[in-house]
Structure 1
Amino acid sequence: MRLIVTSLEDDKAEEVVVIDLAGKAAFADRMVVASGLAGRQLTAMAEHLIEKLERDGRRNIRTEGLGASDWVLIDAGDVVVHLFRPEARAQYALEKMWGVTLPGDEARFG
């Protein structure tokens, strides 16, 4: 987790949130959600993270949306990373779905 969070923070990701899914979901033990301000930033964050995970020995990393403008998914096995532009992140509200409340969410989600 430290490698993932550090990589995202180094690339200026905003509102990095780690959600513990152990015992709640079969597809992963943890989910990381973060925001980037532009599609190019999301792509760069994803590419840098994938490189670091591969150097760390992770194999079979799958991605969806790489090069798209709003959302990139990185499936690293026991950890799934969602990188969003702020508007898409608010629309999908993954944190809310998994019961995580962020500062300011009360006003945003009512």
Structure 2
Amino acid sequence: MEKSKEKVKLAYEALDEKKGEEITIIDIKDISIIADYFIIASGSNALQVDALMNSVLEKLGKNGYEPLRIEGIRSASWILMDYGDVIVHVFSKEDRLFYNLERIWRDGKTVSIDQL
């Protein structure tokens, strides 16, 4: 399995295990050089957003993947975890609606975990 798909699957599992809401995978490799995939999830409050981030860090770390950088930890309303070819966005519900990345990246292809 290619590394980016493995990272997506691991991140998805980590988010799902901590009850991340509306987990969305967007394939952007054909429309952007930023990354191959975005994964977007929501938490119901700041504590859950933090728990989702920690779950992703732990699961990917155990499999040898460390983030290049993490942004937004202090606010816990939008945390961006950059794994190079995969970027994980963990939002509060309000910030997810406000920033609406799904709309901004609508030219990408939304894929299910089963399609990977």
2:29 alignment partner in structure 1: 22
- The 2-side partners of 1:47 and 1:5 are apart by 13
Residue 3 (structure 2) pairs with residue 2 (structure 1): no
**Gap runs ≥5 in structure 1:** 103-110
Task: Extract structure 1 runs of 4+ deviating beyond 2 A.
Answer: none
Return the alpha-carbon distance in structure 1 between the equivalents of residues 26 and 34 of structure 2: 13
Aligned to 2:101: 94
Structure exhibiting the larger radius of gyration computed from Cα positions: 1
Aligned residues: 101
- Which letter maps to 2:70? T
Q: Runs of 5+ in structure 2 lacking a partner?
A: 1-7, 111-116
Residues 56 and 81 (structure 1), Cα distance of their counterparts in 2 relative to 1, 3 Å cut = same
Q: Provide the alpha-carbon RMSD of the alignment.
A: 1.6
Q: TM-score, normalised by structure 2?
A: 0.81
**Equivalence for 2:18:** 11
Query: What TM-score do the two structures reach when normalised by structure 1?
Result: 0.85
| C-alpha distance in 1 between matches for 2:12 and 2:102 | 16
Q: Which residue type is aligned with residue 58 of structure 2?
A: E
> Per-residue displacement from partner, 1:33-78 (whole Å, max 9, x unpaired)?
1100111111111012111111111134310111423111100111
Matched, 1:57 2:96: no
Identity %, equivalent residues: 36
The higher relative CO (CA closer than 8 Å, separation ≥ 6) is in 2
Q: Deviations over 1:8-36 (max 9, x none)?
A: 01000000000001121111000001100
From the superposition, tell whether residues 35 and 60 of structure 1 become closer, same or farther in structure 2 (CA, over 3 Å).
closer
Specify the code of the residue in structure 1 equivalent to 2:27. D
